[in-house]
Amino acid sequence: MSEMKTAAYLCAGCGLGDVLDAGQLEKIAQKEGKMHVVKRHAFLCSAEGVQTIRDDIAKEGVTHVMIGACSRRAKTEAFHFPEVAMSRANLREGVVWVVAPGSEHDEVRQEMANDYVRMGCAELKKMKVPAGNPDAAGNKRILVVGGGVAGLTAAIEAADTGYDAVVVEKEMQLGGWAAKLWKRVPFRAPYDGPRDTGIADLVMRVAGHPRIKVHLHSTIVETAGAPGRFTVKVARESGEVTEERVGAIVQATGFSTYDLAKLPELGGGQDNVVDQAGLEALARAANGRAIRRADGKEVASVVFVQCAGQRDESGTHLPYCSGHCCATSIKQAMYFKDTNPEVDTVVLYTDLRVPGMGEDFYRSAQDKGVIFTKGRVAKVAAADGACTVHFRDLILDEDVAIDTDLVVLATGQVPNSGVDIDLPDEDAAKTRQVSILNLNYRQGKDMPQLKYGFADSHFICFPYETRRTGIYAAGPVRRPMDMQQATDDATGAALKAIQAVENAAKGQAAHPRAGDLSYPIVRLEGCTQCKRCTVECPFGAIDEDEKRYPVFNESRCRRCGTCMGACPVRVISFENYSVDTVGAQIKAVDMPDEFSERPRILALACENDAYPALDMAGLSRTVHSAFVRVIPVRCLGSVNTIWITDAINAGYDGVMMMGCRKGDDYQCHFVKGSELAQERMGKIDDTLKQLGLESERVASYEVAITDSRRVARLIDDYAARIKEIGMSPLKGFA
């Protein structure tokens, strides 16, 4: 694109024409914006209006389009011109709908609209049409790590959808835990008893599927590459290494049971105390007849102890609930009752948790005569060929002891998530964890973990997503779950993997900027090798070459711009989003002088939550101060501190940063963006002090997408605060 031809289109629909002086806007686009073409339309998103733009692109050679109409989040289908660069001046949600109505506000409203047109034009001139990821590669095979229920389901789902799958399983046979069960919990009505696991069928389907290749007794010794071009070295137990080329990976490595030896007070280690997996083994040995203990005695009474080493508040054992164990104990109690109703089966629980239709299953067990007692177990003691369970009855509020032939402890799921890459090396050595993926990424061998060692994922906003693009976690490695949930989970992860390979092949970003063709471009001549981008990238996309320069793996990139925000020498940019595109907007705003009593507040709003919240404020006509100028950013993580410095120097009276919630229950779409922004802004305080400015001149806020009313109030409160501390003394120097 050698010749740049810019065009501005101003809409007068949706009431814009009634309250704004379109002539003035046009003049600004022409004189200040220096747009080659400026057109006004009464209803720009109509077929006719859109056609005007299309014609100009096709016949007049327009390469850059500025649309002054509604929010960039509205009418995206009408204003879809992928062949040109486009900016949007938000005159509807951003001005007309949020500035108080009435002619007394005409002046400030018009000033705001003028500024947005200036900003739109300024941004546009710094933009280029994204060309798509040069790193694009089209391998569409899907690697599934783990051959349990989740892994096999993911492989089948991918293969049935038409994608080749490769399964790597470390054991000699497929099936995982499911193959070690006697029966499973019912998935659908009637919830009257245990069902066959169905795992044999699933294994057969996988083994016989023409699109699925299986590596048994194998582990992964190295994973290299990016979505669309992963190279995975699979090693058999014998030492033989095979290289598999795949486009995406589903990690379904499941869980291990909590070590019984860590529960001596609950009888862990005693002959007549087993965990749930141990009871499955006994039930399989009994093969439908009466269940016998290891010593051969037929079990006449059994006590199930729920939450054994789970939901532990003391910090010794697992702090979380594994979710499946109540239903599993119910199922196992039925193993006894279904063969012999005379067997005493007692389930000792503190809270019986049977989500979904499990409640019906619970009822069936009660109907079969399983006794449920709300009690907290204090101790399981060995007693003359049996066990004595000492517990506190929480309903009758008394200490009770019962003798029983067998005790089953409901222990929790411990995720097989590999090494914790966030641990310092000396601590990591102590845990003796073994890596699963052996990624050759600069940031570590496995996926980052979120909580309690589970593979990272924000399970409400983006289930299955991890912080490694093209690698998706499914099943109990992601969060504790049962077979049915693992099946659903695996299906979701398989679809995610398919999306990833498809996007990668087209050179597009994956979630949450799916379809984005821009990618980070680095001017290596200017790089100082500070490594901030490689360290701070939330997705481990950036490696390092032998000369210690960053290597951007574009296919692993989510296009959040965190690297751009991190770079102290500002050599990282996107074609349509850069230090310049935002910087130009900041500088384009017309700055009234110090004595005008019209302050200017810059709001850098995250486009994922804060900007939609602002749009919704407009939609509900929640008015706020007209002194604010909002610039959407991809993520607060992409905010480079130069923008703040520029704004202060340009004479802005305050800067508001609006991002997502950070911390443990973060809502940041790019995981670390808002947190990093907060950290970087800590340094802004010093800059402000040096300039003799109040620290309140830069403020940051956590805004959720639902905060439409709150966000308007935040702006008003901040404007009031600025009024109190007074106008910036730096106006007119820039």
Partner 1 sequence: MGAPAMTGATMVDPNTAAIARYRNNFLQEVEERVEEGKWVKMCMQCGVCAGSCPFGPHWEHSPQKIFMMIRAGKRDEVLTSDSMWMCTSCYNCVVRCPRQLPITQIMHGLATYAHQLGLAPKMQPTRDFSLQFWDNCTKTGRVNELKLTLGLYFKDGLVAGIRKAWDMRSIGLGLLKAKRLNPFELFGGHRCKDRKGFAAMLKKAREIEARRKTGTA
Judged by the rule CB under 8 A, the positions of this chain that interact with partner 1 are 352, 362-363, 366-367, 369, 371-374, 393, 395-396, 400
> What is the distance between the alpha carbons of residues 3 and 676, in angstroms, rounded to a whole number?
38
> Distance between CA atoms of 496 and 513, rounded to whole angstroms?
14
**Cα–Cα distance between 222 and 438 in angstroms, integer?**
5
Measured in residues, the chain has a length of 734
Tell me the three state secondary structure of residue 169: coil
- We find the least distance from the C-beta atom of residue 395 to partner 1, in angstroms, to be 4
Nearest approach, Cβ of 373 to partner 1 (angstroms)?
Answer: 7
Q: Identify which of residues 105 and 368 has a Cβ nearer to partner 1 in the complex.
A: 368
Minimum CB separation from partner 1 for residue 291, in Å?
21
Could you give the CA distance from residue 509 to residue 530 in angstroms, rounded to a whole number? 26
Query: Which CB, 217 or 363, lies closer to partner 1?
Result: 363
Q: Which is nearer to partner 1, 21 or 393 (CB)?
A: 393
365 vs 636 by CB, closer to partner 1 = 365
CB of 311 to partner 1, least distance (A): 18
Q: How far is the CB of 374 from partner 1 (least distance, A)?
A: 5
Chain CA centroid to CA 514, Å: 13
Q: Which is nearer to partner 1, 29 or 185 (CB)?
A: 185
Asked whether 457 and 473 are in contact (CB, 8 A), the reply is: yes
The three-class DSSP label of residue 490 is: helix
Minimum CB separation of residue 355 from partner 1 in Å reads 15
CA distance 309 to 263: 7
Q: 337 or 629: whose CB is closer to partner 1?
A: 337
Give residues with Cβ within 8 angstroms of 610, minimum separation 6: 658, 659, 660, 701, 703, 707, 711
- Closest approach of Cβ 378 to partner 1, in Å? 17
Measure the CA–CA gap between 224 and 635, rounded to whole angstroms: 28
To the nearest whole angstrom, how small is the minimum distance from the Cβ of residue 299 to partner 1?
18
Nearer residue to partner 1 within complex by CB, 365 or 693: 365
DSSP notation for 543-565: EE-TTS-EEE-GGG-----HHHH
503 and 227 in contact (C-beta within 8 Å)?
Answer: yes
Residues 6 or more apart whose Cβ sits within 8 Å of residue 200: 175, 179
Q: Which CB sits closer to partner 1, 104 or 397?
A: 397
Report d(CA 106, CA 95) in Å as an integer.
11
Q: Which residues pair with 39 in a beta bridge?
A: 9
3-state helix, strand, coil in the chain (%, to 5): 35, 20, 45
Rounded least distance, CB 328 to partner 1, Å: 18
Query: Among residues 367 and 597, whose Cβ is nearest to partner 1?
Result: 367
